[in-house]
Amino acid sequence: MNVLMISGDISAVKNEKGPFSETLNGLALLYTQIYIFCPEVYSDIDRNFLPNVKLRSRKRRMLFKAIFYQEILTFIKDIKIDLIVSHDYGLMLNGINASIIAQKINVPHISEIFHLEGHPNPCNLKERIFSRWGKTYIHLIKKRVALFRVMNYQIIENLFLKLKVDPKKIANINAIYINKKYYYPQVIQKEFDFIFCGRFSSNKGIDLFLTSIKELKNYFPQVKTAMIGSGPLWNFANNYIKKNSLEKNIKLILRVPSENELAMYYAQSKFLVCASSVEGGPRVTIEALACGTPIISTPVGVMPEIIKNGVNGQLIGPSKNELLFQMKKYLKIHPNEYQKLVKATQDGLERFDAANSMENIFNNYRKVVDYHLLQIIN
């Protein structure tokens, strides 16, 4: 089966190791050929990511970013494509172009939407625009698309079903894969009380985490945390730390060069904090759990399905007072009770096994292609 992916993840373009490259390594064992088109990058690239994974990216002027289906048709000229998969977010340009191409070459289109920016709680004007347009996109293509792929039940119940999408066209297929080579429980000295890991953007709750640590310092002057990531709010975080004299309390890390090192940071932390307002997963929470680190998280993505309060972590509301309360509570937890939390972190992680997840994706997508072929024959 040959699949065309239209993706905004440029890590493969940069030849960086990470979640997308791990996914491609797994899927390449199952598909005949994978063709990847990345529309928004800064250089023209044509190369083989793997022997059966061909990648194309194009440097494009801002005015023409929305219209690139003709470029893709040229890319796949004389190639038999069985399925188109679009990774959809923001203004949903990948999905719009994928839908046009799917109609032109008569193949099924799967739209992957793991979270909708700004839904259900937009943080700013940009997210309000993206939220409204995302819902419009879903409404416009819900009859044409073969399948919407999501990764948690919240987005099914609170978005797709409310938009009257046919339940048969919604598939909850996991998109978080744990490589046990890197992420596993380790007995190691805890250097950090809390760790934050993720993109430094408005939906990640950067300000919530920072203000909570500032307040927590009044009760526990020696509290030590780490923040790992990059993004538009990185300078804001750096300036906030300096302005409030938090340099000894917060270690700010721009990026981690390897998954081994990232796993080590998880293992060195007593708790990982997710303060996000919207997520599909998030991946970092599952990785941390796999490393034996309990979670304090807002009820986003798959967290309500995974976190059991007081068992392997704690779900919180999106307020500084609640996060601060839970941080104070867990800093004072008895060592024996903490070890119970650590032991329970492994419960329910079987669904995130990498090999099983890849096979599940392939089997579900194969069904979509087979059904489409059956419709053509009939």
Residue pLDDT, tens place only, 233-285: 999 999 999 999 999 999 999 888 888 999 999 999 999 999 998 888 899 99
- Kind plus residue range of the DSSP H or E element containing 63: none
Q: CA–CA separation, 135 vs 49, rounded Å?
A: 34
The DSSP letter of residue 43 is S
Taking the domain 192-350, which CATH number applies?
A: 3.40.50.2000
Structure tokens at 77: 């000229």
Which residues on neighbouring strands pair with residue 53, listed in sequence order?
34, 50
Residue pLDDT, tens place only, 168-204: 999 999 888 888 888 999 889 999 999 999 999 988 9
- Looking at residue 2, its amino acid is N
Residue 12 pLDDT greater than 80, yes or no = no
Total-model pTM: 0.89
Which residues on neighbouring strands pair with residue 59, listed in sequence order?
41
The fold of 2-177+353-377 is: Rossmann fold (3.40.50)
pLDDT-based confidence at residue 340 (cuts at 50, 70, 90): very high
pLDDT-based confidence at residue 327 (cuts at 50, 70, 90): very high
In this prediction, residue 125 carries a pLDDT of 87
The region of weakest confidence among 212-221, 262-271, 297-306, 354-363 is 354-363
Strand ranges (E), the chain? 2-6, 33-41, 45-50, 53-59, 83-87, 109-112, 147-150, 170-172, 192-197, 225-228, 250-253, 269-274, 295-297, 313-315
Helix axes 234-243, 206-219, angle to 10 degrees: 20
pLDDT, average across residues 304-312 = 95
What rounded mean pLDDT belongs to the chain?
91
In this prediction, residue 63 carries a pLDDT of 46
Residue pLDDT, tens place only, 74-117: 899 999 999 999 999 988 999 999 999 999 999 999 999 998 98
pLDDT-based confidence at residue 73 (cuts at 50, 70, 90): very high
The segment(s) of the chain belonging to CATH 3.40.50.2000 are 2-177+353-377, 192-350
Residue 48: which of 78, 28, 69, 65 has the closest Cα? 28
In this prediction, residue 344 carries a pLDDT of 96
Residue 26 pLDDT greater than 60, yes or no = yes
In this prediction, residue 178 carries a pLDDT of 87
Residue 61 pLDDT greater than 60, yes or no = no
Helix axes 283-290, 259-267, angle to 10 degrees: 70
pLDDT-based confidence at residue 122 (cuts at 50, 70, 90): confident
Residue 2: which of 49, 55, 52, 47 has the closest Cα? 52
In this prediction, residue 41 carries a pLDDT of 67
Task: Quickly count helices (H) and strands (E) in the chain.
Answer: 13, 14
Residue 286: which of 359, 346, 208 has the closest Cα? 346
